[in-house]
Amino acid sequence: MTQGVVDSWVKKFAWFQFPKLSEEKAHLEGGYVDRACMTTLPLLRNSGFTARRLVERVGGFHLQGKPYLASTFSESILRVATSGKKLVQLRQGISLKDRKEILSADMEVQETPHLPRDRCAIITGVAKPTAIGRCLVHHFLENGYKVVGADICELELGTSEETSTQKLSADRFHFVQADISDPLQAKQIVDETIQKFGGSIHVLINNAGRTTPTLPEENRVKAFAETLAVNVNGAYYMSESVLPYMPAGQSSIIHISSTRALQSEPHSEGYATSKAGLVGLTHAQAITLSGKVRVNVILPGWINTDPSGNAALRLEDHEWHPAGRVGVPDDVAHMCLFLCDSMRAGFITGQQFVVDGGVTKKMVYPSD
């Protein structure tokens, strides 16, 4: 397929002149081509992609021959015939007959997993080997991502198993020591990611944060400002730095907040304010980046980051949770992986997800 054919096809649809589907397909698919296609096509055209690079950018299928299929990450499939005139959306509800008709073109197609091979993620707050950030690193590496971890502290080595299995191998993991409350250092993290792993970043997880310690009154104002500088400003600086490298329709930003955004305890003003600020930042970014990057926020509750047992948990600690146990870092990691999957979570943006075992929904009564 020539670049001219691709350009003519993109031009035809780039101004949102999408045809209505047949009556049967309208019933199954809502009547119109997926909105993700509308927002993606003009961006691809302006980027000057060749046909092959267009396939790689949209992802999902690798093709040989002139015609090709490309899968967006909102469960739709674009079909570009040699004439450059056909655009069809597929969902699970489409009839087998229609699916066979669409896929019966004379072409050789090799289906691959819906996530592209070179997915890259930046995760902040990864220095501690048993904390949420390091758990996120391992989960994303295990799911095929290349990962850049960042922290203001030096990277602490974990267990011998972690070292021996080379889960943090240099070819797939890179660590940057930086202070995200400084916009220049936040940009440095992104710059090193591009230098190490190439031109696209698909996931940003703003996990780094600091608490507000109980301090004498004369130090509280400074501590309040420093907490917001890391927890809110740092997340914003990271987001702004990474956006130019995030492929439209395939990328996700996740902020790690806390249930302290919903309920508080004494002397937590800075922490609670900053975590609530991440919820507001999520709403605003999701609207600003509509159709380009999905933005969501996770609010963990009690997460036990000391699996060695040094912080002994009582039976009543587990029983306090409607889920029957205290949370672990994997609970947060699983939610992150789901939200970063643009096929399964492609319709989710601007939302907050409380991962707390049900505690914030539990009525609290005065003690006797």
Dihedrals phi, psi of 154, to nearest 5 degrees: -70, 150
Q: If you search the block for the tokens 């740092």, which residue do you land on?
A: 234
SS3 261: helix
Strand partners, 302: none
Q: Catalytic: which of 68, 236, 271, 365?
A: 271
Output DSSP code: residue 324. S
Give the Cα separation of 327 and 323 in Å (integer). 9
The DSSP 8-state label assigned to residue 302 in this structure reads S
- Longest CA span, the chain: 78
Q: How many CA atoms lie within 13 A of 69 on its CB side?
A: 22
Instruction: Give first-to-last CA distance, the chain, whole Å.
Output: 77
| Range 7-12 contact pairs with CB under 8 angstroms and sequence separation of 24 or more | 7/45, 8/84, 9/80, 9/84, 9/85, 9/87, 10/41, 10/42, 10/44, 10/45, 11/45, 12/84, 12/85
Between CA 47 and CA 10 the distance in angstroms is 12
Cβ neighbours of residue 42 closer than 8 Å, sequence gap 6 or more:
10, 14
Q: Look at residues 195, 246, 254 and name the one whose alpha carbon lies nearest to residue 57.
A: 246
Between CA 317 and CA 325 the distance in angstroms is 7
Q: How far is Cα 6 from Cα 81, in angstroms, rounded to an integer?
A: 10
Residue 271 designated active-site = yes
Enumerate the active-site residues: 271
